[in-house]
Structure 1
Amino acid sequence: MNYETLLCEVKDQVARITLNRPQVLHALNTQVFNELEAVFSALAADPTVRVILLTGAGEKAFAAGADIKELADTDAAAGESKARRGQGVFRLIETCGKPVIACINGFALGGGCELAMACTIRLASETARLGQPEVKLGLIPGYGGTQRLPRLVGQPMALKLLLTGEMINAAEALRIGLVDEVLPADKLMERADTLAKAIVAMAPLAVTACLQAVRDGSEINLEEAIDMEAKIFGQLCGTADKEEGTKAFLEKRPAVWTGR
């Protein structure tokens, strides 16, 4: 797959997507959204890909935010359309059925922070800086930030970040729950690869089911959610992978997963 604003490579069932507009710190413009949609759609449909890593080229930025030049020319109608477009692409990433690990190597601001929040797991380098500075432009986050941020860090902390436009460092992001781990910059991708390999070693249907149960369960009430969990558990009990997993455990050997 060839793209102009990003790179994609697949090795050992792990895909690595690298945003590649270093001259503008990987700012998210229309072409980036189009190519993110294309690559995640392709990877979601590829059964040989089990985990997706997402990062930015170089050490300065994961993604510095939306392309301000594009935003400056939007009116009310175009602005709403742009927000819905970004929301749709980030929702695709969130629901692609594969774990997506954000490897935050530098600035993740505005749309870049929203992109990271749409991922399953967030790893950050010690040099990472995160924030939602849209109020400084007379805007609010438009790609899901006002909704995902409170779900991750709680409403009071989310409002503090949203209302001040404050940029925080990796240690503070870890403390409030915005990122899951902080690593030295030179260890970030190594840790991401290790985590990806650990997930690849698990039963693929079970991994997908965990993603579905947690994501969908968070959007409905508890009674409906635990009912959904029971149904998914029952479905997995009828799979070849469940039979293989329990048999391998009893026989004290590694399981050989088929995804069936």
Structure 2
Amino acid sequence: MLRSRTKLIELGKRQLCRSMCKSSELTLVEVDDKTGIATLTMNKPPVNSCNLEFLRALKSAMKEIESNKCSGIILTSSNDKVFSSGLDLNELRQPNPERLATFWKELQEMWVTLYLSNVPTAAAINGHALAVGCVMAAACEYRVMLPDFTIGIHATKFGYVVPPFIVNTYLSVLPHPVVERALLQGKIFSTQEALQINLIDEVVNSKDEALCKCADFIGSFEQTNPVARALTKRQLRAPFAKQLLEDPETELRESLEYINTPLFQESLDQYLLQLKKKNKK
């Protein structure tokens, strides 16, 4: 804790970021020169599915934004219909063991980077946010969503056991009974349903409005001390991240073991076949 506090104090002494951050082919980062707010746009066609390279790019962009001491992060999508479709299931189907291990570690590290970010985070959800797409949105402090889209974690529908850190992401924003039913059913919520259960904070009519709402949220912390704010956020969120932070190897091992079971591989094959048939209609 002392080491984290010292690091944050040093970060607090740096000048606010006021320039364009570097972008990759998979992510676009723009920083408002007046507010210092960074907009991180997911840009992996066609649906921002999270493969190894995309997870790595997201984590790298988030860390760069923090190191430049920007005043906040707005996460959004370049696709006007899909925020993120979740994990690239091809990474899980008959996986190469070495790549799968690296992929899952990147997923863990991306989540920790976003969930425990030192700066305010907000999601402008301008499309469907499924599985890890929902997880990323829920990991942010504030969520604004456009109407007529869906959000949720449907892992049980393709045979996957939801890992503890993803369960904890839901538990950090939703009551336990709601989380239990949603995860066991693989429930996907409409925008209005998500608002009713407080999975999202507001509904807006356009992406521009969503970005403005997110910027207003981040701006609401302008009068707070950034170091004190970040340390308080870590204290509040630490219980939900504790298991993964203290023993990532156990979660990694258990996840890899389950992914490689015939039970999961058969369920995944059936699910992908159903998707293929559905897309042909």
Taking structure 2 as the reference length, the TM-score comes to: 0.70
Partner in structure 1 of residue 216 of structure 2: 194
* Cα distance, 1:82 vs structure 2: 3.8
Tell me if the contact between 1:86 and 1:143 (Cα under 8 Å) persists in the aligned partners. no
1:128 partner amino acid: F
Q: Matches of 1:143 and 1:18 in 2, distance apart?
A: 27
Is the alpha carbon distance of 1:95 and 1:77 closer, same or farther for their aligned partners in structure 2, counting shifts above 3 Å? same
Alignment partner, residue 123 of structure 1: 144
Residue 51 of structure 1: aligned partner: 72
Contact 1:122–1:180, Cα closer than 8 Å, also in 2? yes
CA drift at 1:102: 0.8
Tell me by how many angstroms 1:69 deviates: 1.3
> Structure 1 residue 94 and structure 2 residue 115: aligned?
yes
Shift of 1:75: 7.4
Partner of 2:261: none
Which residue in the other structure is 2:167 paired with? 146
What is residue 204 of structure 2 aligned with on the other side? 183
The one-letter code matched in structure 2 to 1:14 is I
Structure 1 residue 120 displacement after superposition = 1.7
Show the counterpart of 1:103: 124
Query: Is the contact made by 2:51 and 2:103 (CA closer than 8 Å) also made in structure 1?
Result: no
Residue type of the alignment partner of 2:71: R
Measure how far apart 1:83 and its partner are: 3.5
Aligned Cα root-mean-square deviation (Å): 2.2
The aligned counterpart of 1:114 is: 135
Cα gap change, 1:143 to 1:76, in 2 (>3 Å):
farther
Matched position secondary structure for 1:210: helix
Structure 1 equivalent of residue 181 of structure 2: 160
Taking a change above 3 Å as real, the CA distance of residues 164 and 30 of structure 1, as seen in their structure-2 partners, is: same
Paired residue secondary structure (2:55):
helix
* Alpha carbons of structure 1 residues 79 and 31: separation in structure 2 relative to 1, 3 Å: closer
Corresponding position: 1:66 with 2:83: no
Identify which of 176, 195, 198 aligns with 1:174. Answer: 195
Structure 1 position 181, deviation (Å) = 1.4
Compared with structure 1, are the counterparts of its residues 191 and 218 closer, same or farther at alpha carbon in structure 2 (3 Å cutoff)? closer
Give ranges in structure 1 of 5+ residues lacking alignment: 221-260
TM-score (norm 1): 0.75
Higher relative contact order (CA 8 A, sep 6+): 2
One-letter code aligned to 2:39: R
Between the aligned partners of 1:137 and 1:103, the Cα distance in structure 2 is 27
Residue 62 (structure 2) aligns with: 40
1:217 to 215, 218, 236: 236
Q: Is the 8 A contact 2:56 2:106 kept in 1?
A: no
Q: Is the 8 A contact 1:56 1:63 kept in 2?
A: yes
What secondary structure is seen at the aligned counterpart in 2 of 1:8? strand
CA contact (8 A) 2:85 2:131 kept: yes
SS in structure 2 of the partner of residue 184 of structure 1 = coil
Aligned length: 215
> Take 1:177 and 1:211, find their aligned partners in 2: how far apart are those partners?
23
For the 8 Å contact 1:103–1:188, the answer to whether it is kept is: yes
Q: Which residue of 2 aligns with 1:4?
A: 25
Helix, strand or coil at the partner of 2:41: strand
Q: What SS does structure 2 have at the residue aligned with 1:144? A: helix
Percent identity over the alignment is 23
| Bigger Cα displacement from structure 2, 5-14 vs 206-215 | 206-215
Aligned to 1:223: none
Residues 76-87 of structure 1 aligned to structure 2 (within 5 Å)? 82-87=103-108
